[in-house]
């Protein structure tokens, strides 16, 4: 490589390094607390809301555990209580594969809000945990029905 070309390459490399070094030394702007949007806390659920969510969870599990029907009859009864997400996960379940069980106790778990209540449903085969949510297409969750959005199954029953 000739000396002129080597000098030109070294000069270009030095210029590139100087440019990059200048970029690296520029500090990023420090975010301020006013940059972040504030979100109002979700209010705790009223006793009536908790009761409504618990009743809906119990009704869903009553239908879910009624496994002597045809798969289509079972699905038509169960899907009425499910959010779109839960319906996607439960659809195609064969009721003949659900262990026979009876509900023994239903209780809401602590931490209920106006839009989410977790309900534990004890059965003779273990405890199912249903996350009930008020889901409204129009965004007005106050009068929306309680739907099962998530199901946690007892070990060995799903």
Q: What is the pLDDT of residues 72-131, one digit of tens each?
A: 999 999 999 999 999 999 999 999 999 999 999 999 999 999 899 999 999 999 999 999
Q: Which of 92, 97, 100 is nearest to 66 (CA)?
A: 100
Angle between helices 71-78 and 47-64 (to 10 degrees): 180
Is the pTM value of this prediction over 0.85?
no
Residues forming beta bridges with residue 119, ordered by sequence position: 108, 130
């Amino acid at each position: 490589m000739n000396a002129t070309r080597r000098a030109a390459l070294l000069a270009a490399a030095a210029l590139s390094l100087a440019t990059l070094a200048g970029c690296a030394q520029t500090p990023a702007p420090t975010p301020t607390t006013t940059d972040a949007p504030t979100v109002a806390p979700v209010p705790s659920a009223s006793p009536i809301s908790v009761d409504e969510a618990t009743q809906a969870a119990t009704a869903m599990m009553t239908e879910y555990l009624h496994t002597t029907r045809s798969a289509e009859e079972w699905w038509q009864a169960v899907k009425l209580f499910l959010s779109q997400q839960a319906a996607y996960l439960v659809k195609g379940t064969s009721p003949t594969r659900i262990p026979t069980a009876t509900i023994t106790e239903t209780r809401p778990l602590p931490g209920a809000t106006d839009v989410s209540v977790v309900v534990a449903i004890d059965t003779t085969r273990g405890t199912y945990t249903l996350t009930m949510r008020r889901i409204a297409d129009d965004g007005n969750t106050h009068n929306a029905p309680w739907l099962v959005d998530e199901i946690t199954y007892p070990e060995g029953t799903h």
